[in-house]
Each structure stands twice: as structure tokens, then as C-alpha cells.
Amino acid sequence: MYVRSQVSSFGSPNSLSSLFLWLLQHYRCFPKRKMKTGYFAVVTVLLAPMILMDIFQVKAEILDMADNAFDDEYLKCTDRMEIKYVPQLLKEEKTSLQLLEDVWENAKAKWEVRKTQLFLPVSFKDNHGIALMAYISEAQEQTSFYRLFSEAVKMAGQSRKDYIYGFQFKAFHFYLTKALQLLRRSCEDSYKNVVYSINQNTSFTFGGLNQARFGHFTLAYSAKPQAANDQVLLTIHTCFGVAIENFFDKESERIILIPLNEIFHVSQNEAGNNLILQSTNKTCSHYECAFLGGLKTANCVENMGMKNQESTDLPGMKGQEATQIPAPAPAPAPVPGPKTHPSASSGKMLLPIFGTFITLISGSAINLFVAL
């Protein structure tokens, strides 16, 4: 989903300016730390008004193909990534980002208790379960980690360079993506169970395309919520979504986690307040094994997958011949492979683009406001 923000009446320029001045006046009261930490605190304070403004914005999300999202499915490099690269990436990224460390360790404790009660595929490893447990827990609570990770995923696919240097969740994204692939059932099982999604802070507007991807990992529920006048309800028929209610003792309600790159046909009811998303039984990606050198493709390359090829069309399903969905931007210039690129969390990375930088410090800024 491509996000456009519109400032609401919750925050006025005068109030934000006053807060900005107050923060500057009280910065001298903050504890002094090492130069690197102190500099980070200064930048956080200076950017605080913009971050606060973003918090009080009403965001109108337009369903589209989410071409800026990082959508790698790792289909051709799963074993290489999982054995040779991702374990070290996870260590680096947890060391670099304390928020990730805390979320991971909390989910790890929950997973150790829960995994013995689940029937899992043989190839489903602990790290898959921890990543899944972490994301679902944070998404349900709408925590700062959830917002930070989701925003990073939405923008990290602008180019491979953005992913390599600016995305601090490479390992987490890998494990979460593989967890959904391993747990996925046939389309016949998942498509018939309608689920719904709505966000109290977001309204959805049909952008004119008949196909769309979410562009971020999305939770949907079997219980149909009541949408406010300015909100739009999403009615979803998914083929790639995974039922995860058993992970949290919530068998009374069906909870589905939908991958970011599933392609849906989008239609609208007569009233215009209900978008109907019907899976095409396909995903598509601009990236394949980006960490190992794969560049962004100009087209979103469709992938049906083994289970998809065995499935048959269900009534109402919007299927079509496999195609490549055109994207407006050309592929970026070649970038060196992983051996010549440091991890985004190694401490040797180049400074990411300004927008990505703001995303990475948003969580810290929110915690700073709470502390104040």
C-alpha cells in the first residue's frame, strides 16, 4: 500500500512549535552520554516535531501494487541464506537495535512454552516460530516495533541499495517470510474462509487499479468489525494467508496473517465503503535473493508456487494467466554482492536516505516522549 498522509486537526503548527522549543530548552537536562549516543539524542530531539506530527496524522492508504515494498521470497536461496548468512545477520541486527533484541527475546520465551502444543512442519525451525510469535504479538498491540518494522518494509524495496544499507530487519524479514511459506495450506482451505481487516487510524481508498498487494504483513480476522463513517472495511479472500490463532489460544476467532506480496483483485460495493479483495492465487516480487546480489526487476514477477499449481480455481476467485505486472520505475544500476556490502546493522553502513533514517529513530522518539 502506498501511503499518503493528510494532517488532521489533532496537531496544530503552534502546538508543535511550542513543543519543539520546550524540547530544545530542556535538552540540557538530559543525561550526558557518549558522543555517539549524545548525537543521536540531539537528532532525535530535533526531528521530534515531525515524528509527533506523523503520529497525529490521519493516513489515507491507497491500495496499489506496493512497488517500493521489499518483497523478496527467497525461493531460490532459502538454504544458502538460512545456513550461511541469516544467523549472523540476526546477531548483528539484535546488537544494533535494542528494540529488536527485546522483542526477539520476549517472543523466544513465549515460543519455548507454546511450540510443544503445535503441529509444525519438519522444516519449521525455532527462529521461524520466534519471528512469527514476535510479529503477531507486536501487531496486535500496535507497538512501536510493529510500526517501525512495517514502515521499513514498505520502503526498503525502492532499490537494492536501500535494502542493503538501510534495512535493519533482514533476518527478521527472512524468518517471517519463510514461516508463512512453511505453514501455508492449499488455497481451497484458506480461500473459502472470509476474513476482515480495518484500522481505526486509517481509511482505504480504491486507487483505480484492479490488482493490489498489501505491501506489508497484514492481520485479518473472521469477526466482522463495524466500520466508522470515514473508514473502509476490507473483505478478504486469501490463498496465502496463514491461520495463527493456535499460537495464542484464540481458537474462538480465526486470525489470519497475510504475506505482503499476495496479489488480490480489488472491487468495491455500491456504497463504496467496502473493498472486496479476492486472491488471484499468486504472489509477485521485484526481488529474488537480493542479499546475494539479486537486483530489483522492473516488473513484479509472478510466482505461483508448487501448492498453487496443484490448486484449482474456486467460485468467485479472480484468476488469470501468469503475467508480469509492469512497474513504472526501471531497474536500478548494478550493486556489488553481499561480500562487498556490510550488513545494515554492522556499524559500517552508509548513511541511509533521510526518510529511512526518520523511520529508524521513530521508535526511540516515541519512547523519549513517554519518558518526558
Q: pLDDT digits over 145-175, tens only? A: 999 999 999 999 999 999 999 999 999 999 9
- Flag whether 359 is in a domain: no
Q: Find out whether 318 and 280 touch, Cβ atoms under 8 Å.
A: yes
Maximum Cα–Cα distance for the chain, whole Å?
A: 66
- Flag whether 248 is in a domain: yes
pLDDT at position 91 is 98
- Flag whether 357 is in a domain: no
Question: Where residue 227 falls among pLDDT bands split at 50, 70, 90?
Answer: confident
Domain boundary among 60, 89, 109: 60
Domain boundary among 12, 34, 60: 60
Main-chain dihedrals φ then ψ at residue 296, nearest 5 degrees = -75, 130
171: left (phi over 0), alpha (psi -120 to 50) or beta: alpha
Whether residues 122 and 229 fall in one domain? yes
pLDDT at position 60 is 60
Q: Count CB-CB contacts under 10 A for residue 128.
A: 24
Whether residues 125 and 8 fall in one domain? no
Q: Find out whether 147 and 363 touch, Cβ atoms under 8 Å.
A: yes
Handedness of CA 73, 177, 263, 329 (dihedral sign): negative
Q: CB-based burial of residue 273 (10 Å sphere; 0-12 exposed, 13-18 middle, 19+ buried)?
A: middle
CATH (domain of 135) = 3.90.176.10
Whether residues 42 and 133 fall in one domain? no
Whether residues 142 and 56 fall in one domain? no
Strands 324-326 and 299-303: antiparallel
pLDDT at position 38 is 45
Place of cell 540476526: 90
- Flag whether 143 is in a domain: yes
Whether residues 33 and 170 fall in one domain? no
**Does residue 259 surpass a pLDDT of 80?**
yes
Whether residues 139 and 233 fall in one domain? yes
**Top mean-pLDDT range of 19-33, 169-183, 271-285, 358-372:** 169-183
Percent of the chain exceeding pLDDT 90 equals: 51
- Flag whether 345 is in a domain: no
Whether residues 28 and 159 fall in one domain? no
Question: Where residue 199 falls among pLDDT bands split at 50, 70, 90?
Answer: low
pLDDT at position 304 is 78
Q: How many domains does the chain have?
A: 2
Domain around 20:
2-60
pLDDT at position 22 is 39
Whether residues 128 and 189 fall in one domain? yes
Give CA torsion, residues 73, 219, 247, 312, to 10 deg.
Answer: -60
**Does residue 43 surpass a pLDDT of 70?**
no
- Flag whether 364 is in a domain: no
Whether residues 126 and 253 fall in one domain? yes
Whether residues 181 and 231 fall in one domain? yes
Q: What average pLDDT does range 20-24 have in this prediction?
A: 39
Whether residues 41 and 71 fall in one domain? no
Of residues 97 and 248, which shows the higher confidence score? 97
Whether residues 53 and 73 fall in one domain? no
- Flag whether 295 is in a domain: yes
Helix axes 86-96, 98-114, angle to 10 degrees: 120
Question: Where residue 305 falls among pLDDT bands split at 50, 70, 90?
Answer: low
- Flag whether 228 is in a domain: yes
